[in-house]
Structure 1
Amino acid sequence: MRAAWAVARKELLILLRYPTWTVGLLVWPVLFPAGYVFFGRALAGPAGEGLAAFEARAGTADYVGYVLLGTTLWMVLNSALWMLGSHLRQEQWRGTLEANWVSPASRFGLLAGAGAAQVLQSLTLMGVTLVELRLLYGLEMRGSLALMALLLALSVLSVVGVGLTFASLVLWVRETEAMVFLVRGLFTVFAGITFPIDVMPAWMQGLARALPLTYAVRSLRGVALAGWGWDRVRGDALAIACFGVVSLVLGVGLFRVVERMARQTGSLAQY
């Protein structure tokens, strides 16, 4: 716990040392979904002629809210992949990974601290994003805020699990950018970030159901835009929680494998 707290504190101090990162925190959540929102407005037609077809597929005519909620969760995933997923690789670049790993500190604690820092950053990102979307896009939440908070918490757990798994793989293959682009690209296409997944072919829908973000996006949209209750999202919430537990266990297991491999091969200092 002391090792995890030290790493989390260090990561947060680095962020605070470079306050210009807050510019991206404020600007990116507004600019990123704008293209999809305007594209949806163009397809809807001047008088909303196309909204009926969209509502039949998506279950809501609020295409702006539909896009905004999907892109918000995508940004949280993207942040976790870049910051938590590449944490160990960044430690290599800084020249601190090898020194930390040969110390008596818990090596898993070093990664757990990065995960704790990422949870705080993800919650901050979602909070700032939802406020901005309400002020600038007029996003309206029609459902239970407590239920949305529960779904967001479960979603963050799942995202952190994916990030931990990704971190172990990155240290193994020593590549960050290509893997981030691949993984987030798969989620962008298959998780229904900006469109209903039932417009895809059957085999793509099957793959979409194997991604935790698919259930997080669907349930959050249902609660926020259509006022779904617990009875409608119970299945999705259980699926998100299971994905979170499995990804966390997988991340810990992969980390142990990579740790053992690094001790045997002496590869920590290799690039």
Structure 2
Amino acid sequence: MNVVRQFGVHVLQIYWERRSYRTAIALGTITSLISLVQFLLMGKFLQDGNTFNGIQGYGGNIISFLMSGSVFTGFVAVSLGAFSNHLQIEQRTGTLEAAVVMPVPLTRVMLYSGAGGLIGTTVGSVVMFGLFGVVFDIPISVNLLATLAVLALLVLTLGSFGLAGCGVLLITKRGDPVRWGITTLTTLLSGVMYPISILPGWLQAVARALPTTQALDGIRKSLLTNADLGQVAPALGHMAIWTVVMLPLGLIMFTTGMSRARRAGSLGEY
């Protein structure tokens, strides 16, 4: 009976702890539902059979299509989390207040942390592409300059969103709706696991407006079909517009979140 009672107390403790982070709970619940929709769309795509309509523009190879999508999500994750991952570490260890008053600006330290993650993701992606390319004989035709240009602007664009998410995270402590929103829209609508051509017409319009959809299109073309800078220029221009809008907005939201947390005396809370 003691074991059962102790287990019950432990479960209640977890419940009351997580109940206090309502944003995180709401986002987690919605994510579960969206994941189901994502797999249903993936199933619809696979029903096309051997032709796999919608991927011919990227070489027509299903393995390279899915693998490039997997690599892309790694860069999305590290770009969005460049700031918030370090911020959450500081929150969990209770050192955020001390980090804020250090001589080195907190944003610079977060940039260093993000750069380290970006290097690791890049090395891992190169190794994975090389290994799977040999094992599965995947046709890869890379235009390095175009690929690097798209990735660089992707990091800058999503880093701006990540900075905005940090401003929210400073207030909510757990549950970053900005990062969650971009990640969810990317996996569901940007063509990571299936081409956007299988989506309803109105959703295709939404998908094309996303910076991640344009970035993934540019990366697949430059990585798999040797597309040059001129051919990925539409993707670069689209992301540049998003960056011009989001970078100042991200800075404002981060500064506002930091100011509110300081006034509330909640920098040390997690």
Structure 1 SS opposite 2:232: helix
Q: How many residues align?
A: 230
State the partner residue of 1:149.
Answer: 148
Relative to 1, partners in 2 of residues 1:254 and 1:180: Cα closer, same or farther, differing over 3 Å? closer
Question: In the alignment, residue 148 of structure 1 is paired with which amino acid?
Answer: T
Contact 2:45 2:198 in 1 (8 A): no
State the partner residue of 1:112.
Answer: 111
State the partner residue of 1:189.
Answer: 188
TM-score, length-scaled by structure 2:
0.71
For the aligned residue pairs, the C-alpha RMSD in angstroms reads: 3.1
**Distance in 1 (alpha carbons) for counterparts of 2:55 and 2:79:** 32
Relative to 1, partners in 2 of residues 1:265 and 1:189: Cα closer, same or farther, differing over 3 Å? same
String of CA shifts for 1:131-164, please: whole Å, max 9, x gaps.
Answer: 2332333333224222222222222323333332
State the partner residue of 1:261.
Answer: 260
Structure 1 SS opposite 2:231: helix
State the partner residue of 1:159.
Answer: 158
TM-score, length-scaled by structure 1:
0.71
**Distance in 2 (alpha carbons) for counterparts of 1:59 and 1:106:** 42
Pairs within 5 Å for 1:171-250:
171-176=170-175, 183-250=182-249
State the partner residue of 2:95.
Answer: 96
- Tell which deviates more after alignment, 190-199 or 156-165: 156-165
**Distance in 2 (alpha carbons) for counterparts of 1:249 and 1:137:** 44
State the partner residue of 2:31.
Answer: none
Structure 1 stretches of at least 4 aligned residues deviating more than 6 Å after TM superposition: 38-42
Identity of aligned residues (%): 25
Q: Which runs of 5+ in 1 are unaligned?
A: 1-34
Relative to 1, partners in 2 of residues 1:124 and 1:160: Cα closer, same or farther, differing over 3 Å? farther
- Tell which deviates more after alignment, 148-157 or 62-71: 148-157
Question: In the alignment, residue 71 of structure 2 is paired with which amino acid?
Answer: T
Contact 2:150 2:235 in 1 (8 A): no
Is 1:74 the counterpart of 2:73? The answer is yes
String of CA shifts for 1:221-268, please: whole Å, max 9, x gaps.
Answer: 122333333332111112223334443333222111112112211110
**Distance in 1 (alpha carbons) for counterparts of 2:200 and 2:44:** 21
Structure 1 SS opposite 2:191: coil
Relative to 1, partners in 2 of residues 1:116 and 1:225: Cα closer, same or farther, differing over 3 Å? closer
- In the TM superposition, residue 43 of structure 1 has moved relative to its aligned partner by 4.6
- Tell which deviates more after alignment, 142-151 or 81-90: 81-90
**Distance in 2 (alpha carbons) for counterparts of 1:194 and 1:206:** 18
Contact 1:89 1:171 in 2 (8 A): no
**Distance in 2 (alpha carbons) for counterparts of 1:241 and 1:69:** 22
**Distance in 2 (alpha carbons) for counterparts of 1:111 and 1:187:** 23
- In the TM superposition, residue 82 of structure 1 has moved relative to its aligned partner by 5.0
Relative to 1, partners in 2 of residues 1:110 and 1:55: Cα closer, same or farther, differing over 3 Å? closer
String of CA shifts for 1:175-202, please: whole Å, max 9, x gaps.
Answer: 1488765542221011111222122123
**Distance in 2 (alpha carbons) for counterparts of 1:225 and 1:213:** 18
